[in-house]
């Protein structure tokens, strides 16, 4: 019998579900969850969202929208462990334990923190830590706790999260070195194709860049966003290079190889940008339709979503409970 794999991934709840979430995390994770030798941990990283926003209503709504998105895309709550991070207090206990092992120097090098201090430097701000909260600084530790709490061995993430998984490995190995072989150093699973889905401005599609394509918006709103996708200024009739084209790369993530080849030909023949956007819009609309229909049904049934998450948290707690016990024993926090 092959070894059981534990696959774990989460989405931060700070906005409406977008195409990057769908093709980068939700759909591949659901697909992977169908494998027999796999236990999947899929969760809402609601406490991570505190770092980025103090809007409680937005956080609450976003948690619901993202939960409904997972379910609309085919997650079967009976087959996977689907939960809110905030329902598992053991994660936060582990985060403290790990933060006492992680060296500050390691966290100084985390991309998100470095980007923030670099901005401050560029703006000649006296205090390079201006506007940076401890949550942002500790972000990789909380993420490590999310993963190590369940001894997950595979974490499907975008390229931008690779560093966090390396830090998680580092912290797990340090724990094991001090306290015995307890935590599992995970591997990042990065899909070369979808790991880099561009947003409408060409940078990685991300809530932080405000360049996302929302997946459950009305057709008109979707069309508006598609029309805003950045292109170069080549005229209709001029041959176009598909390789670094945002429209093309988004199309590739949601379409069949055959259709991609057809669009490639049209690029060589000099398709107008407006026309390429229309083709992408049509394809995206039909790609999203089944998910949208399901989503619109699910959002009318809040108790169903809540029940799925409560049942998921019970399953998650039955796994995290014994692990945190093992961790406490190992570090000498135990009864006399």
Give me the residues that bind ligand TRP (CB under 6 A), please. Answer: 8-12, 45, 48, 143, 146-147, 155, 157, 161
> Residue 93 is encoded by which pair of tokens?
């206990």
Question: CA geometry: angle at 25 spanning 21 and 28, to 5°?
Answer: 130
Distance CA 185, CA 168 (A): 7
Query: Least distance to ligand TRP from the beta carbon of 90, Å?
Result: 15
Q: Find the helix or strand (DSSP H, E) in which 134 lies.
A: helix 134-148
Nearer to ligand TRP, 18 or 277 (CB): 18
Nearer to ligand TRP, 64 or 150 (CB): 150
φ, ψ dihedrals at 159, nearest 5°: -50, -35
Q: Find the helix or strand (DSSP H, E) in which 12 lies.
A: strand 5-12
Query: Least distance to ligand TRP from the beta carbon of 294, Å?
Result: 23
Query: For strand 187-189 and strand 38-45, is the pairing parallel, antiparallel, or unpaired?
Result: unpaired
Q: Compute the radius of gyration of the chain from its Cα atoms.
A: 21
The answer to whether the CB of 44 falls within 8 A of the CB of 66 is: yes
Nearer to ligand TRP, 11 or 205 (CB): 11
Nearer to ligand TRP, 85 or 242 (CB): 85
Distance CA 259, CA 253 (A): 11
Query: Least distance to ligand TRP from the beta carbon of 108, Å?
Result: 18
Nearer to ligand TRP, 147 or 263 (CB): 147
Nearer to ligand TRP, 247 or 319 (CB): 319
Query: Least distance to ligand TRP from the beta carbon of 152, Å?
Result: 8
CA 211, 214, 219, 220 torsion-angle sign: negative
Query: Least distance to ligand TRP from the beta carbon of 320, Å?
Result: 14
Query: Least distance to ligand TRP from the beta carbon of 176, Å?
Result: 19
Distance CA 45, CA 42 (A): 10
Nearer to ligand TRP, 205 or 284 (CB): 205
Q: Output the CA torsion 295→298→304→308 (10° steps).
A: -10
Query: Least distance to ligand TRP from the beta carbon of 307, Å?
Result: 24
Distance CA 110, CA 174 (A): 18
Total residues found in the chain within this entry: 336
């Amino acid at each position: 019998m092959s070894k059981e794999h534990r696959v774990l991934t989460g989405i931060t709840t700070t906005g409406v579900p977008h195409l990057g979430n769908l093709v980068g995390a939700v759909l591949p994770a659901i697909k992977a969850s169908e494998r027999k030798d796999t236990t999947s941990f899929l969760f809402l990283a609601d406490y991570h969202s505190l770092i980025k926003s103090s809007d409680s209503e937005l956080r609450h709504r976003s948690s619901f929208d993202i939960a409904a998105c997972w379910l609309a895309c085919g997650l079967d709550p009976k087959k996977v462990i689907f939960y809110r991070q905030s329902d598992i207090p053991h994660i936060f206990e582990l985060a403290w334990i790990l933060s006492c092992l992680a060296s500050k120097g390691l966290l100084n090098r985390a991309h998100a923190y470095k980007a923030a201090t670099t901005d401050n430097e560029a703006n000649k701000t006296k205090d390079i830590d201006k506007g940076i909260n401890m949550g942002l600084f500790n972000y990789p530790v909380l993420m490590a706790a999310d993963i190590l709490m369940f001894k997950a061995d595979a974490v499907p993430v975008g390229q931008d999260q690779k560093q966090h998984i390396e830090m998680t490995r580092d912290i797990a190995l340090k724990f094991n070195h001090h306290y015995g072989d307890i935590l599992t150093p995970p591997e990042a699973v990065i899909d070369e194709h979808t790991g880099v889905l561009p947003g409408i401005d060409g940078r990685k599609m991300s809530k932080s860049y405000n360049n996302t394509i929302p997946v459950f918006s009305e057709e008109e709103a979707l069309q508006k966003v598609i029309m805003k996708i950045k292109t170069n200024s080549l005229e209709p009739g001029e041959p176009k290079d598909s390789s670094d084209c945002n429209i093309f790369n988004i199309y590739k993530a949601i379409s069949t190889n055959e259709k991609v080849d057809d669009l490639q030909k049209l690029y060589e023949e000099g398709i107008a940008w407006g026309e390429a956007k229309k083709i992408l819009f049509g394809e995206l609309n039909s790609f999203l339709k089944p998910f949208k229909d399901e989503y619109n049904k699910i959002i009318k049934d809040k108790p169903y979503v809540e029940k799925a998450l409560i049942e998921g948290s019970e399953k998650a707690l039955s796994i995290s409970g014994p692990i945190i016990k093992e961790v406490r024993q190992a570090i000498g926090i135990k009864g006399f």
